[in-house]
Amino acid sequence: MDNVQLAKDCVRLVGGKENVATVTHCFTRLRFQLKDKSKADIAALKELDGTLDALEVGDQTQVIIGPQVNEVFKEVEKVVGKSVADPTPVQDDAAAAADGATEKKGFTVGRLLDTVAGIFAPVITAITAGGMVKAALLIMGLFGLPTDSQEYYILNFIADAVFYFLPILLAFSSANKLGCNPYIAAIVGGVLLHPNWTALVSANEPVSFFGLPVTLYNYSSSVLPIILTVLFMSFVERFAEKVSPNVVKAVLQPLLTLGITAPVALIVIGPLGSIIGGFLASILSFLDTNVPILVPTIVGAVCPLLVFAGMHLAIFPSLQTIQLADMGYETVCGPGMLAANMAIAGSTLATAFRVKKAKNREMSISTGITALCGITEPALYGVVFKFHRPLVAGMIGGAVGGLFAGIMHLKRYAFATPGIPALPTFMGDDPMNIVIAVATVVIAFVVAFIASLILGVDEDGAEKQKA
């Protein structure tokens, strides 16, 4: 496959580089934010050699590439430029609208989900890196690395750094998504983590700012406070741009933006976000304590549908990060998604025994193996949704595996795409937890495999429908 040509074709079929507001990517798909979605030729994008599918989700135009998406994304960036918000202020709303850069206003659920997904998609790789370092450290501990050694200490804070400084990462990605200066946003994230602020929190003595009481919260590993702060900052930045005279705008606008946003974040928005986050954590804790089978079972069943629509990034990362920070483990995404991914692998590999055409068999085997590693999009687009019945089998296997994980109260201690290589993220204080994780893999895979063999595939019907 020629990644250069594929990138050029993708950009051309979404309306050209002039129509691309931003472009990001996750593990398998390009996520275009277009100025005019009507210019995108979805049908032609679906038929490109090298794409698995294309669809519109909320305000995004998504092109599913597969595991090699990172290479294609680099070529796309060469065509359209880096997808980083311009740190220079726009001239005015009219000029922005004339350039097509101003998004449609108004709240919709689709736009909310698109915004959340756009915020988390760029930072997933960093979070996964930290989670996998933590998993590798756990394995090294099992093979004799002392927990009180300097090597363990250093590797541990390398892994923790991603989560500790998560507000800065989210500040940058939130600013890119919301169209404000990402560098000032990152500074605001740094304010919430500054050692002097941490010292005030540790001292736990009354603090005021010009007579206003300041509530002390530890914002490391937090999610909602910085996202809400950057949302507020986007309005402050526009206000500062309007009231700043042109002759001093270059210095007055950033002064007003940071000078207003940071104190308001410490006094109002940060505590508000922490309260909301605490409330969500309480809900998750209640579910984890009282109905532990509910969430893993539901996630195991419906996860393929969320991944197919690209909405898993809008739902899971924020909730599981909140729970990880609050409890040291999470049960929101990891257990259910582990079951879902293994079930999709089972139903896809079983399809290889039921199809007659060699190309479909090869596709089932290759994408099924990829799904075992936690990357299910190639299987979903290339096999499961194409033949329909494997989807039903996968949802059955995912639900059964998720039910087992819930009954056994499976926990995940670090973040990584749930698959066989990421099983060490289920290693924790309870040595049986990893055994339960392996059993979840086996149950979900076997149930989906058998269900897929029984249900079979309508190969001829699928080919006719595609034609």
CB 372, CB 419: distance < 8 Å: yes
What lies within 8 Å, CB to CB, of 410 at 6+ separation is: 296, 331, 334, 335, 338, 426, 433, 436, 437, 440
Backbone angles phi, psi at 357, to 5 degrees: -80, 140
Query: Do residues 27 and 71 make contact, with C-beta atoms less than 8 angstroms apart?
Result: no
Burial call 257-281: b when 16+ CB within 10 Å, e when fewer: bbebbbebbbbbbbbbbbeebeebb
| Residue pair 224/274 in contact by the 8 Å Cβ criterion | yes
Helices (H) and strands (E) counted in the chain, each on its own, are 22, 6
Distance of CA 136 to the CA centre of its chain: 22
Tokens in use for 404? 């087992």
Which residue among 10, 26, 180, 333 is the active-site one? 26
Helices marked H in 355-431: 358-372, 377-379, 385-387, 389-407
Cα–Cα distance list, 391 to 30, 308, 369, 465 (Å): 23, 11, 16, 17
Cα separation values, 237 from 168, 177, 178, 225, 449, Å = 18, 14, 11, 18, 54
The number of CA neighbours under 13 Å toward the Cβ of 392 is: 10
3-state secondary structure of 369: helix
Active site residue 26: yes
* Residues designated catalytic: 26
